[in-house]
Amino acid sequence: MTESARSVSEEQRRYNPAEIEPRWQARWDADDRLYAAEGHDSGKPKFYCLEMLPYPSGQLHMGHVRNYAIGDALARFMWMRGYNVLHPMGWDAFGLPAENAALKNNTPPREWTLGNIAAMRKQMQRMGLSYDWATEVTTCLPDYYRWNQWFFVKMYEKGLAYRKKSKVNWCPECQTVLANEQVIDGKCWRHEDTIVEQRDLTQWFLRITKYADELLSELVKLDGWPEKVRTMQRNWIGRSDGTLVDFAVEGGAEKITVFTTRVDTIFGATSVQLAPEHAVAKSFAATDAVLAGQIDEMLAQQKAAREAGDLGAIEKHGVNTGCFAVNPYNGEKVPIWVANYILADYGTGAIMSVPAHDERDFEFAQKYGLAVRRVIVPKAGTEEPLPFTGEDDAVLADSGQWTGKSCVDAQHEMATFAAEHGFGSATVTYRLKDWGVSRQRYWGTPIPMVYCERGHAGVEPGGVVALPESALPVVLPAQVEITQQGGSPLGRVPDFVNTTCPVCGGSALRETDTMDTFVDSSWYFYRYTDAKDAAAPFDSDKANYWFPIDQYIGGVEHAILHLIYSRFWTKVMRDLGLIRNDEPAARLFTQGMVIKDGAKMSKSKGNVVSPDLMIERYGADATRMYALFAAPPDRDLEWQEDGVAGISRFLGRVYRLTLKYGVMPAAGSETDAAAEAALLRTLHQTIAKITEDFSGRWHFNTCIAAIMILVNEIAAAEPLMEAGKISSTVTAEVFRNLTLMLAPFAPFLAAELWEVTGGKGAVFRVAWPVANAELAREAEVEIPVQSNGKLVTVIKVPVGSDQATIQAAALADAKVASRIEGKTVAKVIVVPGKLVNIVVK
């Protein structure tokens, strides 16, 4: 470096991200190995860092920016820590918006989607995100979705995919069926104002309930997941342990099976309540026109309430059928009612009503004057008002041979008794329902099934035939007219629909529904490990090396959609022998929302801030760094443009100082050893803080604050550096490590400064600095001195001073002396290194 390099003009020292960032971006884009992961044999520990893949809407929003800024900082940090990092990105590219866009602008969905992907990929590159684009996954392309079809067939063969007619959720806006997980408060997850209708349709389902128990029990092992997400999944799965009990219908061959979690209260049952849809209710109605009318009225009322979006508003009511059921435990006859609050699709659609020990039953019994019979009493013998629902420290009364038993013991014994006498059994009920995956839409994965028209051995006419692997992929036809008329668009493409049966060669019709797009995102992260595989969804050895994902980062809105489906898919793949891991991700992080003026950014509120605009004004580094600085990552972040400007100013300071003193420091004869030690002390304290934070708390806001403190201190030492009082060894160490610490947060600037200060190679592959505890150590520590808990003064003592020394120093202080003068010192509390509190009277 020559003297001329030192005399760079002020103008050249001005931080100009608009010049620096595109220059580096071009260099990075040209190097397709820059962010590539290494193989199993790299000798390094692996780290799979993953952010949830976006829907290619065509525009990154601030939520994406925040999500990717977090993941990118982590990936770069782990590279610098010597890990073999997999950091991929892809596109959740099927879905309804492409069809809507097609309707609106007459652009084919594929063209629209691929155009959006290209635009968003460019935005991501502009952000400086460290993705390995060689492993990019695009779910709407046949080389990906063919494996959706392959999995579907495998699941069909295993009985995990099946077709049935049932009540399903229909969104009139989407013109398709939705899964239960996609219905929120009776409304569509994509159309918050659209009430979901119930329709009877034949649909394909995936048997997620087969894994309900494992999905639930393994939640306790996911200690790297937020408790909130685990709780939400636990609630969603909704396991309920209970007993099935058969009540014989008096004077008929029918029986009513009820589900109860409190079989111990069954001697207090004074009626049986049926859902209006219940088969026994229907059979009574067949011979009772009045009852039939009342049941129809209930169903009509439910339908109306659902359409009004307010199911909770229906008042509970019921009708007495006039028939009786027999309680198998005591032979007692109880009336059978039909009630509008009994859910047909939970448990068995029938309950026993025990008014004395259930709040709802009590309320219902009061309304209709049904008998209330107490059969549970507190162990303590105290009189509890009814309804008494407690089961701990309570025992049975007037309950035959179980009288005096504890509730919990009785529940087990009575279930066993039922099983022994053939009228019931212990059982488990889940709220979770099988995953309905059929969609009456075009832009999705075709379901790889045909219906053989004539039928053949084992398949009746019109029966289901799964396509063999050789017939895959079933490619989505390109020329499809998208209209708003009902039914699957593929059904209007004769070339697609009409095919031949792969078994008998006769004519066959294709399934015209496509798969829920949540299928695509249920296993995409496995594909990243082997994105170009044409013979399999992925190579098992590769997946077993990389899985589980070490850190998954995304929004909490997927807590029960994507995150439960992908856990299910992982378990299915494990049982197919493709992978060894039971769970997809060891650690999950859900970042907070980005808000503006106190509200979530949305077009309708007009408070959307465009990342492009921020990058244009302040650069990608400042935009990303602000997203990490303004709040800890798990909290909501209020976007304030002035804050971005502040970060930009800060980066400008770093740039100016580094160019001035980091490139070629001024030479001087006498150095200031104390000032040098102080600089190095702050430097090493900063390294220690950031290193520790990355491995645990992820409070990047305080990491960046720590870097600011270091830079403020460097700036304060500017006169000393100018005068040559800080040796070049020290400035070199300070600026080198400052640059390395900036690399995860502001990669463009770090790359630039690394190069201009003579660093070799990519700054992201340089070893992360190691804090030197000796250099970081403070010589003295400030100890606040309190009197009765109120601050009096602050004294300085050498680090490591013992209690006696600190106490002596505190009592020797003039301010302290005047404060305690004339008072009695009752006690002196000394916490070494922390504080002194003198208790006086």
Q: What is the footprint of RNA within residues 208-247 (CB under 7 A)? A: 227-228, 231-232, 235-236, 238, 240, 242
The answer to whether 329 touches 239, Cβ cutoff 8 Å, is no
Q: Which of 201, 708, 732, 756 binds RNA (CB under 7 A)?
A: 708
CA distance 129 to 761: 18
Distance of CA 142 to the CA centre of its chain: 27
Nearest to RNA of 354, 493 (CB atom):
354
CB of 727 to RNA, least distance (A): 22
Mark 128-157 with x for binding to RNA (rule: CB under 7 A) and - for no binding: ------------------------------
Segment lying near RNA (by CB under 7 A), choices 23-31, 196-204, 605-613, 832-840: 832-840
CB atoms within 10 A of CB 803: 13
Told to check if 636 binds RNA by CB under 7 A, we report yes
Cα→Cα distances 231→236, 693, 775, Å: 8, 26, 45
- Residues 333-362 vs RNA: string with x where CB under 7 A? -------xxxx--xx-x-xx-----x-x--
Task: Determine the Cα–Cα distance for residues 488 and 500; give it in Å rounded to an integer.
Answer: 20
Told to check if 753 binds RNA by CB under 7 A, we report no
Q: Is 190 in the site for RNA (CB under 7 A)?
A: no
Q: Which stretch binds RNA (CB under 7 A): 68-76, 88-96, 536-544, 783-791?
A: 783-791
Q: State the minimum distance, in angstroms, from the CB of residue 803 to RNA.
A: 12
The two structure tokens encoding residue 92:
């959740």
Write out the binding residues for RNA, residues 19-58 only, by CB under 7 A. Answer: none
Q: Compute the least distance from the CB of residue 816 to RNA, in Å.
A: 12
> Shortest distance, CB of residue 294 to RNA, whole angstroms?
15
In the complex, what is the shortest distance from the CB of residue 147 to RNA, in angstroms, rounded to a whole number? 29
For RNA, the binding residues in 406-465 under the rule CB under 7 A are 429, 431
Regarding 715 and contact with RNA (CB under 7 A), the answer is yes
**Cα 451–chain centre separation:** 38
Report the alpha-carbon distance of residue 611 to residue 624 in Å, rounded.
10
Segment 240 to 279, residues that bind RNA, using CB under 7 A: 240, 242, 259-262, 275
**Contact by Cβ (8 Å): 837, 789:** yes
Of 702 and 772, which has the nearer Cβ to RNA?
702
CA 127 to chain CA centroid, Å, is 23
Inter-residue contact 311 to 186 (CB < 8 Å)? yes
Of the candidate residues 115, 477, 555, 632, the single one contacting RNA (CB under 7 A): 632
Q: Which of 643, 724, 759, 832 binds RNA (CB under 7 A)?
A: 643
* 78/354 with CB nearer RNA: 354
Nearer to RNA, 455 or 646 (CB): 646
- The answer for residues whose C-beta is within 8 angstroms of residue 751's C-beta and 6 or more apart is 24, 743, 762, 763, 764
Q: In angstroms, give the least distance from the CB of 506 to RNA.
A: 44
Cβ closest to RNA, residue 31 vs residue 227: 227
**558 binding RNA? (CB under 7 A):** no
∠ Cα 441 445 451 (to 5°): 85
Q: Which of residues 54-83 bind RNA (CB under 7 A)?
A: none
- Residue 62 or 155 with smaller CB distance to RNA: 62
- Quick one: 120 or 816, whose CB is closer to RNA? 816
We find the least distance from the C-beta atom of residue 671 to RNA, in angstroms, to be 21
What is residue 246's three-state secondary structure? strand
- Each residue 537-556 as x (binds RNA by CB under 7 A) or -, in order, gives -------------------x
Q: Is 796 in the site for RNA (CB under 7 A)?
A: no
The sign one gets for the Cα dihedral 30, 36, 38, 44 is positive
Minimum distance between the CB of residue 578 and RNA, rounded to whole angstroms? Answer: 30
* Position among 125, 194, 640, 671 found at the interface with RNA (CB under 7 A): 640
When the beta carbons of 71 and 268 are compared against RNA, the nearer one is 268
SS3 per residue for 312-347: HHCCCCEEEEEEEEECCCCCCEEEEEEECCCCCCCC
- Give the tokens for residue 155: 């699941």
Among 3, 11, 192, 315, binds RNA (CB under 7 A): 315
**Is 33 exposed, middle or buried, given 0-12, 13-18 or 19+ CB atoms closer than 10 A?**
exposed
Q: Near RNA by CB under 7 A, which window of 132-140, 142-150, 411-419, 785-793?
A: 785-793
Contact 612, 604 (CB under 8 A): no
Give the x/- contact pattern for RNA in 94-123, rule: CB under 7 A. Answer: ------------------------------
What is the helix (H) or strand (E) element at residue 515, kind and residue range? strand 514-515
Q: Does 831 bind RNA (CB under 7 A)?
A: yes
Total site size for RNA, rule CB under 7 A: 83
> Binding to RNA by residue 374, rule CB under 7 A?
no
Binding to RNA by CB under 7 A, coded x per residue (else -) over 484-523, reads ----------------------------------------
Residues 661-700 that bind RNA (CB under 7 A): 689, 692-693, 696-697, 699
Helices 109-126 and 96-105: angle between axes, nearest 10 degrees: 110
Query: Which 167-186 positions form the footprint of RNA (CB under 7 A)?
Result: 184
Of 7, 36, 41, which is closest to residue 134 (Cα–Cα)? 36
Q: How far is Cα 48 from Cα 83, in angstroms, rounded to an integer?
A: 10
Per CB under 7 A, the list member of 702, 727, 728, 805 interacting with RNA is: 702
Name residue, tokens 């009189």. Answer: 383
Closest contact distance (angstroms) between CB of 440 and RNA is: 24
Q: Which residues have a Cβ under 8 Å from the Cβ of 611 and sit 6 or more positions away?
A: 60, 61, 62, 64, 65, 123, 127, 623
Q: Tell me: does residue 13 bind RNA (CB under 7 A).
A: no
**Positions 283 through 302 that interact with RNA (CB under 7 A):** none
SS (H, E, C) 516-540: CHHHHCCCHHHHHHHCCCCCCCCCH
Whether 174 and 183 have beta carbons less than 8 Å apart is answered as no
Q: Cβ–Cβ contacts within 10 Å for residue 39, how many?
A: 8
Among 108, 115, 477, 646, binds RNA (CB under 7 A): 646
| Cβ closest to RNA, residue 341 vs residue 526 | 341
What gap in Å lies between CA 751 and CA 621, rounded to an integer?
11
Instruction: Judge whether 786 and 838 are in contact, CB under 8 Å.
Output: yes
